[in-house]
Amino acid sequence: MKKEFFLAKPCRPFRAKQYNNINLAVFLNYIRMENAVLLRKLSKTFGKSQVLKNIDLELAKGQFTVIFGPNGAGKTTLLKLIATLFEPSSGSVFIQGLDTAKVPEKARKEIGFISHEAYLYGELSAAENLRFFGKMYGLKKEEIEARIPFLLRQIGLEARAETKVCFFSRGMKQRLSIARALLHFPSVLLLDEPYTGLDPKAASIFEKLLKSPEFEKSTRIMVSHDLKRSYTLCDRALVLKAGRLELDALKTDFTDFEDFKTKCSTLLI
């Protein structure tokens, strides 16, 4: 089967001839502002290994995108570039119109990141961790103190608010990292295998949070190997393989999960 059969272009590509009467700089700024995440010719090299190769991507505000791909495809590297945890070897990343190379601090305030790593301080309690990150995100004191009990209640850790994180199980740390990522009302949520370490109850709580009115307007980008669960949640599916985007399709391009699985299976090996 030819890849073109199911390759989708949810965002219409820019063609200069269509906009002869529009100032190019103004138009490109419009494109940056209209998309929550914009990647242009994004590449990343570690030593002699090129992990990502000229990625161009536009993610609309409020869209839930899932990135699939085999191990070593560059999925986590891509998320870390968007999160400003890595610097690109070449190319650009824009978050809500902000160039991460020029104003990384402002861009980070738009981002919530959930990863394999909890990014928590073991010697601080759950509440102290959230208080620390709330200050880092620039939240006002009253906002922080209101958000902490709300989020701890949502993730089922309200009774452990004053317990040091070093005594938490892996699943509890993962739940707290979810609260950390959601603390500052991020407009872009980056989710790198977020179900890792979560028991079924915690996973259900997490999905309810993702679908809640508070966060459903956020642009969510999730890396996952769980095809069925991710397909159920997403609006758009990408497949990354050997550092290149091999598929970019809207969920509506597939008749059902089996159709998606059949068309994508050869790309996931």
How confident is the model over 139-183, as pLDDT tens digits?
Answer: 999 999 999 999 999 999 999 999 999 999 988 999 999 999 999
Helix axis angle, 200-211 to 170-182, nearest 10°: 10
pLDDT for 186-242, tens place per residue?
Answer: 999 999 998 887 888 778 888 888 877 777 789 999 999 888 888 888 999 999 999
Model-level pTM?
Answer: 0.84
Q: Provide the pairing of β-strand 236-241 with 64-68.
A: parallel
Q: Under DSSP, is residue 186 helix (H, G, I), strand (E, B) or coil?
A: coil
pLDDT of residue 91 exceeding 80, the answer is yes
Q: How far apart are the first and last CA of the chain?
A: 16
pLDDT of residue 27 exceeding 80, the answer is no
**C-beta of residue 69 within 8 angstroms of C-beta of residue 241:** yes
Ranges of each domain in the chain: 3-28+59-89+105-268
**Which CATH superfamily does the domain covering 3-28+59-89+105-268 fall into?**
P-loop containing nucleotide triphosphate hydrolases (3.40.50.300)
**C-beta of residue 120 within 8 angstroms of C-beta of residue 169:** no
Q: Under DSSP, is residue 267 helix (H, G, I), strand (E, B) or coil?
A: helix
